[in-house]
Structure 1
């Protein structure tokens, strides 16, 4: 019996190791073409940055290609070069670290920071491929990002959100290394406040690793590293720029209430509250989004605490959908996680189609309100509610898909591996000892796999 258990254990280890390894053809093909794919993705982005400079200079349609937020960052960097503060620029609401790459733009007159943001966007695609491989899914999700028109347009217009999302994905890849994960997540939280929502699932998975033992030491190491990654640059910014940094880059986002250019379901109540005299009702409208965040984040943690990747997707998508301000730029926060988590895209094709249609409907109605002056406030709010429902349906379909490792491997492959291990000998066991095993045990072993 003891020898039989040893043989079964050896077989299980071999099968698990073999199944976790990609096939030689697939592994060789993906690695062989990876440099060429990366070079093509970078070249495409760099070429579009050059075209964007021409469009910005001549404005053929009367519009600039570069995002206005990039101009804000550049103006902040120009103020820093002149010895001032980036917060001298109105509407500068970011960490001073974000403007550091744009110092090169100011000194050279070239959009070098855009090239850096494009590089980070490509690195984000690589991180997505690594995370998908760790989950047992296809690493081809990397291609979906490298040649995704949404990501290409955003980074070439000057969006730096790929930096914070890249740090979040690298933290998820380092979830077994608490110090590294804590530092990455802390820095991401400094740049963009929203990654703080991931601290709870990280702590849970570190405290109750594999639900076998409590590992308080790893959780403590993560907490200290997270505090260091967050407080280090935050204290530096406060020491350099004082209270204006706290007011503009931190507190502003807590009290921000924008009723324009927002997909949020709260835009109409915020818009109507401007005419209210009842301070208690105004306070209730301000607290409602925070209460919604607390409930949704807690529900995501309780329901998906054992799968930190799906939990991060649920937390991010619900945070964006239920936020007081929701713009298209925020979709970049959860879209990479969606591509990584979903293994079978057939399960989310219909919810994704409804999401795109509801988003397009909202844009059409919002155009009538914003540029035509049509009285369609209630209709637009109804579109916001419909869009929120589409986000919820998309999330439910995404997190309900079975993980790749839960799928049964092909029986022919398992059988070939088991037959191969029959020739193993260890501690005096001969081939005849293995062949004389009970056929029922062998078939039961294969069925269990």
Structure 2
């Protein structure tokens, strides 16, 4: 990103935004034509689920009414009448214009969230991240500006940062992975916008707003709760919160001192506001839609047994122990219970996701890096993983690149490893899904390759990260 000639030749930010908007609108219009003329649809099946849930919500009737305590006073339907809808009712309400305006409204909304995320990335890079990037380890520390330096040097640096931010933001805005997911009707872009807004407030020390947004993000989808740990770790290091203390003489004393610094007015306030926001939204949804909301949105994911193939290698073990797969009358070994237990995957996954948040969130400047590592470990070791989940951590790449001390050759090698592991898995998934060949074991081996390859890439990025001294 230090090639100034490349940055000067790169299109301007308004041009990138214009191309991004036109591209997404064109793909949405194409999706309508394609779906009308092809058996294989461009639109994601999840979008049909969202749209159906919206219809059920807006058209209550016999067997389709909300089941919460307040439902008898509110004439509203139950989005969970639509099987496989496992999201907050807010999503179904958000897509109400699908019924009132146009069936593709949701796609335009999701694409718009993509654009807003790109704009927010650009602003964060220009105003917060790039001005605080440490020099490369090979570079000599920059000394004070000489008395005769040009007064326009600051303006020149600002222009350079803006150009660099445009290049980095375009990684998100022009990524086929990003715009294809939103234009196909996936709602991930709404959550990523919430997460980015939370990060923006945290980086700008607007901790109350960050706590509220974290509660909203966690309500929308539960995994952002892991970011609370790194936020607390950063809050304990804020200058106004530091307290002089004696150097600990043992590991136990060090751990006690760490816990004591984590418990202060700011961290307690942040945790309470975030939890209160999450609980208030949950209580509001429960009061209208009752237990189906709790079960489908949260509880279902704790005991979920997904034996369908996905990137996670856990799928094969679940498939072998899934009810109905084993021969009738065959006694089930005890290890089946262990394999099917949610704790088998949940404990190591959460230990890594939370532990990396504590370890890597040294200061506010490290928050982007900590969230990236937390999210990547959460996705890699999740018991269910599809391509959409990759968007959760790829979101942070444009913001993280300025802090990576890495050559283009090594970056391409990492990208090749990341893509190669997926391509290998997809080659076997195609044989299973489209050709009907029994390649479950080979697909499981490819899942192990996926975990190994993506873990190696994550390790390389961790090694390349430069902290601010």
Q: CA deviation at 1:146?
A: 0.9
What is the alpha-carbon distance in structure 1 between the residues aligned to residue 459 and residue 87 of structure 2? 33
Deviations 1:312-350 (A, max 9, x none): 111111111111100011111011112321334634321
On the 8 A contact 1:52/1:157 being kept in 2, the answer is yes
What's 1:368 paired with? 431
Change (3 A) 1:173 1:361: same
What's 1:80 paired with? 57
What's 1:145 paired with? 172
What's 1:277 paired with? 332
On the 8 A contact 2:232/2:267 being kept in 1, the answer is yes
Find the partner of 1:92 among 82, 85, 89.
Answer: 85
**Across the two proteins, how many residue pairs are aligned to each other?**
381
Q: CA deviation at 1:373?
A: 2.5
What is the alpha-carbon distance in structure 1 between the residues aligned to residue 222 and residue 194 of structure 2? 13
On the 8 A contact 1:118/1:156 being kept in 2, the answer is yes
What is the alpha-carbon distance in structure 2 between the residues aligned to residue 120 and residue 203 of structure 1? 28
Q: How do 1:26-175 and structure 2 match up within 5 A?
A: 33-59=12-38, 62-83=39-60, 84-133=77-126, 134-136=128-130, 138-139=164-165, 140-175=167-202
Matched, 1:300 2:356: yes
What's 1:247 paired with? 295
Structure 2, unpaired ranges of 5+: 61-76, 134-163, 244-260
Q: Aligned-pair RMSD on alpha carbons?
A: 2.6
Change (3 A) 1:208 1:255: same
Q: CA deviation at 1:401?
A: 1.9
What is the alpha-carbon distance in structure 2 between the residues aligned to residue 93 and residue 69 of structure 1? 10
On the 8 A contact 1:135/1:404 being kept in 2, the answer is no
Give the alignment's TM-score, normalised by structure 2. Answer: 0.76
Deviations 1:101-154 (A, max 9, x none): 321111233411211111101111122233434222641211111111111111
What is the alpha-carbon distance in structure 2 between the residues aligned to residue 379 and residue 29 of structure 1? 46
On the 8 A contact 2:308/2:315 being kept in 1, the answer is yes
What is the alpha-carbon distance in structure 1 between the residues aligned to residue 97 and residue 354 of structure 2? 42
Give the structure with the larger helix fraction: 1
What's 1:394 paired with? 457
Larger RCO, structures 1/2 (Cα 8 Å, 6+ apart): 2
Q: CA deviation at 1:75?
A: 0.3
On the 8 A contact 2:230/2:358 being kept in 1, the answer is no
Q: CA deviation at 1:27?
A: 12
What is the alpha-carbon distance in structure 1 between the residues aligned to residue 392 and residue 47 of structure 2? 18
Residues 369-378 or 177-186, more deviating: 369-378
Residues 305-314 or 127-136, more deviating: 127-136
Change (3 A) 1:182 1:345: farther
Q: CA deviation at 1:233?
A: 1.8
Deviations 1:289-327 (A, max 9, x none): 012113312431343121221111111111111111000
What's 1:178 paired with? 207
Find the partner of 2:394 among 335, 338, 359.
Answer: 335
What's 2:444 paired with? 381
What's 1:442 paired with? none
What's 2:344 paired with? 288
What is the alpha-carbon distance in structure 1 between the residues aligned to residue 407 and residue 101 of structure 2? 45
Q: CA deviation at 1:183?
A: 0.8
Q: CA deviation at 1:405?
A: 5.2
Residues 169-178 or 148-157, more deviating: 169-178
Give the alignment's TM-score, normalised by structure 1. Answer: 0.79
